[in-house]
């Protein structure tokens, strides 16, 4: 069956939905469901988050967002589609970027803007099932659980743990998570999401609306996504290279199946996946 909407967990899809000037209203609406009342966004601008050469490739789906409230208060949101390997270490490391970038030359007094680090995860990071939480809000607290520092907050959404169906959605935030988690599987706009903000999201995400170059970039991004998703990082880190190779092969096959179901030309599938025509014919 053909897929009507792109996968929002790919770097391409995530950036298309949330990282472009034309989709700022989607980003504001989504972030305001996660932010506290005193930091509701009235306006925002993107800051170039790829200015450190050693991590530029890593940060293609990470946005540094400079925000302002209706009363003029300013703060920063760093938003990312999280990657599996060393997820917590990456989160802490990336949170230092908007901190360091606030440094001023000369006699700076070290006063910082508040920072919210928001990560959307399409995987489980809690090893023990009984410890798993869909949403986890993290801040710096002391030994008695009292807030020690109110300018650095982490918000993690463990998307596989959100299992509400359409009739169970209670809040606008529920609708957003439902939209993101199920976007690629929808073949029409569900009535529960028939609102202007989501209608625009569906419009942006419709694969048939992509230009040829965008279409090619999306499928390259999809291939990378499946490769990462199917590779067992722990096995590779232990030296089991065959696990990594097998994972990559599975990822390419999944992408090839998807492209073939959509009626994509064989030569494009070969170019996108590196598989042979014989391999593709067998799918």
Q: What is the pLDDT of residues 177-232, one digit of tens each?
A: 999 999 999 999 999 999 999 999 999 999 999 999 999 999 889 888 887 776 54
pLDDT of residue 259: 73
Q: Which residues contact 179 (CB under 8 A, 6 or more apart)?
A: 193, 198, 201
Tell me which DSSP letter residue 206 carries.
B
C-alpha–C-alpha distance, residues 140 and 154, integer Å: 9
For residue 230, how many other CB atoms are within 10 A of its CB? 18
C-alpha–C-alpha distance, residues 252 and 260, integer Å: 12
C-alpha–C-alpha distance, residues 111 and 68, integer Å: 17
C-alpha–C-alpha distance, residues 117 and 76, integer Å: 9
pLDDT of residue 244: 45
Kindly state the average pLDDT of the residues 66-78: 96
Kindly state the average pLDDT of the residues 41-66: 71
More confident residue, 279 or 231: 279
More confident residue, 96 or 281: 96
Percent pLDDT > 70 in the chain is 83
pLDDT of residue 108: 87
C-alpha–C-alpha distance, residues 153 and 91, integer Å: 11
Tell me which DSSP letter residue 46 carries.
E
93-to-86, 89, 99, 173 alpha-carbon distances in Å:
11, 6, 10, 27
Q: What is the pLDDT of residues 141-184, one digit of tens each?
A: 999 999 999 999 999 999 999 999 999 999 999 999 999 999 99
pLDDT of residue 56: 52
For the chain, how big is the Rg over CA atoms in Å?
20
pLDDT of residue 223: 85
Do 119 and 78 meet the contact criterion of CB atoms below 8 Å apart?
Answer: no
pLDDT of residue 245: 46
pLDDT category of residue 247 using cuts at 50, 70 and 90: low
Kindly state the average pLDDT of the residues 134-144: 96
């Amino acid at each position: 069956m053909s897929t009507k909407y792109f996968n929002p967990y790919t770097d391409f899809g995530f950036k298309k939905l949330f990282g472009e000037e034309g989709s700022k209203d989607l980003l504001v609406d989504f972030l305001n469901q996660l932010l506290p009342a005193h930091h509701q966004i009235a306006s925002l601008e993107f800051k170039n988050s790829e200015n450190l050469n050693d991590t530029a490739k890593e940060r293609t789906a990470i946005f540094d967002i400079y925000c302002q409230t209706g009363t003029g208060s300013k703060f920063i949101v760093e938003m990312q589609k999280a990657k599996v390997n060393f997820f917590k270490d990456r989160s802490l490391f990336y949170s230092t970027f908007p901190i360091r970038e606030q440094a001023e030359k000369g006699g700076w007094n070290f006063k910082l803007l508040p920072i919210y680090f928001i990560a959307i995860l399409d995987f489980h990071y809690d090893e023990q099932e009984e410890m798993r939480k869909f949403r986890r809000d993290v801040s710096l607290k002391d030994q008695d659980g009292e807030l020690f520092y109110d300018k650095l907050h982490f918000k993690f959404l463990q998307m596989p743990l959100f299992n509400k169906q359409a009739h169970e959605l209670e809040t606008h935030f529920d609708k957003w998570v439902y939209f993101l988690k199920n976007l690629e599987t929808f073949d029409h706009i569900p009535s529960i999401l028939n609102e202007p903000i989501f209608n625009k999201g569906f419009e942006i995400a419709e694969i048939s609306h992509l230009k040829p170059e965008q279409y090619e970039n999306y499928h390259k991004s999809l291939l990378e996504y499946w490769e990462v998703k199917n590779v067992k990082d722990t096995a590779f880190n232990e030296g089991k290279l065959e696990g990594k190779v097998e994972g990559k092969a599975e990822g390419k096959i999944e992408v090839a199946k998807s492209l073939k179901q959509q009626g994509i030309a064989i030569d494009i599938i070969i170019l996108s996946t590196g598989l042979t025509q014989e391999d593709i014919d067998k799918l």
